[in-house]
Chain A
Amino acid sequence: MVRSSRLALNAYELVEEVKSGSISVEDYIASILERIESIDKRINAYITINHHALDEARIMDKMVKSSSSNSNGYRSTLLGVPLAVKDNISTEGIRTTCSSRMLEDYVPVYDATVVKRLKGAGAIVIGKTNMDEFGMGSTTEFSAFGVTHNPWDEERVAGGSSGGSAASLASCMASIALGSDTGGSVRCPASFCSIYGLKPTYGLLSRYGLISYANSLECIGLMARSAVDLALMLNAVVGSDMQNDHTSIDSSIDIKSINSTSLKGMRFAIVREIIESDAIDEPVRDSMLDAIASVEQLDAVVEEVSLPSLRYALASYYTIAMAEASSNLARYDGIRYGYTLQPDGVAWNEFYSTIRSNFGSEVKRRIILGTYVLSSGYYGRYYMKAQKARAIIRDEIMHVLRSYNAIITPTMPVLPPRIGERISDPLRLYTIDICTVIANLAGIPALSIPYSMHNGLPIGIQFMAKHLDEALLLRIAYALEYARGSRVKRCVL
């Protein structure tokens, strides 16, 4: 067993220790599993634990030993690193539920490309994490497996929909995590749990194996407790996957230049419509202003810009997301997999309707809304209009990013809400996604950086950059991490 303080190690530190032989992977994974056993009853980050994790750890240890005689050493960049995987990302042989009763016993026959690549880099899947059902939510309260609690204040939500992944990192039940981000689902819980959450450029990471909610908006996202860990993860998972995903992009990200402590020469934009919005809570606004001051101290220039079409972002985003979702989720009919009934003697419409009534309330609401906006006579008014609005918003963002390296906003306009506080008012819940949906509409990368605490509650700041400029976001993260030092905690032990 390893000392519990070591469970807070960054992944890059852990890999060094494993390679030098001072930590055995088996010991580390066993300690992680023990911690899950002792605290996850309270946090509820995991839905399913990978029972082969220890076996895989032993194999890693053998590989380390056999390669230590080899002068090159073992090259895997994430050797032995415990990885938490959101439960809408397919893992071969491990149940993948999307936090839905509809898939409560579904076991994929294949690994998502991103999972396969992380495993190839030496990461060990610890388990599958809790989320809002099918990714629909911002609090991880809409789960068939119960709510995930925020490790910083267990009476509050961890954010969502990748709440389990964020909570697992913040409570040292994993070192790195995968989430998915359709309108902020990686960045929101990252912000509420004081970790990093990266939504990459649309298509940079293969979506193969990510269970679709809203295809044209969503990405697999990366979560970590340090900028370097994020860079290592990104490096392991990028690269074309055209043989599995025709929307994926073939690109590499140069992570070698991220470790600069200055932001000299950089120009950042802040958005007037967000700064002036009364939807932003005071502590969040204060933190945002402090962040502006911080980057200016690091020699960046910050200027104000306007995004006049921003007010249509949420309507555009939710119209598109719900339309796509209503179609994506049609396949859950109980015939080939998932929750079902005996079909003998059941009328077919009744068969479908009965089985599909087992979706949770938020999923049903979005399917009905998505069906409405696509239905005969409404397509032009809603879906087509939303896609055109999206094109306009995208153009405005691109215009800003031609003059600025990045746009700074708060990640979430509010502090982590108390459990149950917002769940009953769907529209009000949707509005807290205002700062995050922009990046999904525009397809650009966005990173939530843990910046400060207010009364023990984390506040994250979001940076958005132009397409494929992930390296710039990582560089900002690195510089701020260095500058903020121990003022920002990224896990609770």
Chain B
Amino acid sequence: MVSVEEVRHLAHLARIGMKDEELRLYAEQINEIIEYFNMLDELEIGNDVEPYRMSRGYKEMRDDIPVAFPADMLSNAKSMKGRFIKAPKMG
């Protein structure tokens, strides 16, 4: 069971502000869904089964050729100081 406190911690890890009633509702729904996910436990999988992953030869990767992007990349930033983007202070 995922407790309300655990949901609060998850919400903090994900930086999503939630009120207490929201946390309670989510805890309830999340438990139901996680219980459903738990059916994966019954699936007997040997260590020989590789998790699904795509792979490619390294030669297919990008050449080291620099290209400057032409458009103004700051057009969507709202808090600026000169060409710096403003952010909250850390700490």
* Chain A interfacial positions (CB closer than 8 Å to B): 106-107, 109-110, 203, 216, 242-243, 246-247, 309, 311-312, 314-316, 318-319, 326, 330, 333, 335-338, 340, 342-354, 356-357, 359, 364-365, 367-369, 371-373, 375, 381-382, 384-392, 394, 426-427, 430
Contacts and interface: CB of A to CB of B under 8 A. Distances in A.
Contact of A372 (B2, B45, B73): B2
Interface string B23-43: 000100110111011011101
Given A106-B76, A367-B16, A369-B33, A389 B43 contact: yes
Contacts of A388: 43, 45, 49-52
B72 A109 contact: yes
Contacts of B82: none
B40 A315 contact: yes
A206 to B, nearest CB: 14
A369 B34 contact: yes
B14 A367 contact: yes
**Chain B interface: which size bin?**
35 or more
Given A312-B40, A368-B30, A391 B14 contact: no
6 contacts: A216-B52, A243-B62, A318-B37, A330-B14, A364-B16, A367-B14
B1 interface: no
Given A247-B54, A367-B14, A390-B52, A373 B32 contact: no
Given A348-B88, A369-B33, A427-B36, A338 B17 contact: no
Interface of B: 2, 7, 10-18, 26, 29-30, 32-34, 36-37, 39-41, 43, 45, 49-54, 56, 60-62, 71-73, 75-79, 85-91
A319 B15 contact: no
B40 A365 contact: no
B91 to A, nearest CB: 8
Most buried by A among B50, B89, B90: B89
Contacts of A430: 33
A368 B37 contact: no
Contacts of B87: 335, 343, 348
Nearest to A382: B37
A269 B32 CA distance: 34
Nearest to A312: B43
Given A368-B10, A375-B10, A391 B51 contact: yes
Nearest to A386: B40
Contacts of A394: 52
A348 B89 contact: yes
Contacts, number: 158
B75 A107 contact: yes
A273 to B, nearest CB: 14
Nearest to B35: A427
A382 B15 contact: no
A70 B34 CA distance: 64
A338 B78 CA distance: 8
A335 B2 CA distance: 32
Contact of A312 (B26, B39, B72, B79): B39
Contact of A368 (B17, B26, B71, B79): B26
Contact of A319 (B37, B50, B73): B37
Contacts of A390: 51-52
Contacts of B12: 349, 353
Nearest to B40: A385
Contact of B13 (A216, A357, A375, A389): A375
B30 to A, nearest CB: 6
Given A107-B76, A109-B75, A387 B51 contact: yes
A341 to B, nearest CB: 9
B15 A349 contact: yes
Given A343-B88, A356-B15, A382-B37, A364 B49 contact: no
B17 A391 contact: no
Contacts of B90: 348
A365 B78 contact: no
B77 A337 contact: yes
Given A348-B89, A368-B30, A369-B34, A110 B71 contact: yes
A392 B88 contact: no
Contacts of B7: 368
Contact of A242 (B54, B60, B73): B60
B40 A356 contact: no
Nearest to A342: B79
Contacts of A344: 86
Contacts of A330: 14-15
B33 A426 contact: yes
Given A337-B76, A390-B52, 15 more contacts: A203-B54, A216-B52, A216-B54, A335-B86, A340-B79, A350-B17, A364-B16, A368-B10, A368-B30, A373-B37, A385-B41, A389-B43, A390-B51, A427-B33, A427-B36
